[in-house]
């Protein structure tokens, strides 16, 4: 019998196997990537910048997951490229933080 996994790393815990869970686990290993079960929207002033149901939770550090958003769900006219390097190599191309 194999251990079920969640995201890309680590064994599933009783907390992560709960299908009704709509929040990230309390602590994830650095580099863990999981789909977010929530709709995520971001605004700047009154302008909608992104709206997605395909966000990812990414643990760049163990205790605080970040949201990564698919570029296709972002209204790019509201962003300015500052030439920052990607900080987490486990995030698929086509997502931004």
Q: How does pLDDT run across 21-44, given as a tens digit for each residue?
A: 666 666 667 778 889 888 999 999
Q: Residue 59 in contact with residue 29, Cβ under 8 Å?
A: yes
Q: What is the spatial distance between Cα 71 and Cα 92, in angstroms, rounded to a whole number?
A: 11
The predicted structure's pLDDT at residue 89: 62
Residue 93 scores a pLDDT above 70: yes
Q: Residue 65 in contact with residue 90, Cβ under 8 Å?
A: no
Residue 74 scores a pLDDT above 50: yes
Confidence bin at 8 (pLDDT 50/70/90): very low
Report CA torsion sign: 11, 15, 17, 23.
negative
The number of beta carbons lying within 10 Å of the beta carbon of residue 24 is: 20
């Amino acid at each position: 019998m194999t251990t079920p996994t969640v995201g890309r790393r680590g064994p599933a815990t009783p907390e992560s196997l709960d299908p009704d869970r709509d929040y990230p686990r309390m602590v994830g290993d650095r580099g863990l990537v999981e789909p977010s079960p929530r709709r995520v929207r971001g605004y700047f002033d009154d302008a909608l910048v992104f709206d997605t149901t395909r966000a990812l939770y990414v643990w760049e550090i163990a205790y605080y997951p970040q949201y990564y958003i698919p570029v296709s769900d972002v209204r790019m006219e509201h962003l300015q490229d500052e030439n920052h390097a990607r900080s987490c190599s486990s995030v698929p191309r086509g997502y931004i933080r």
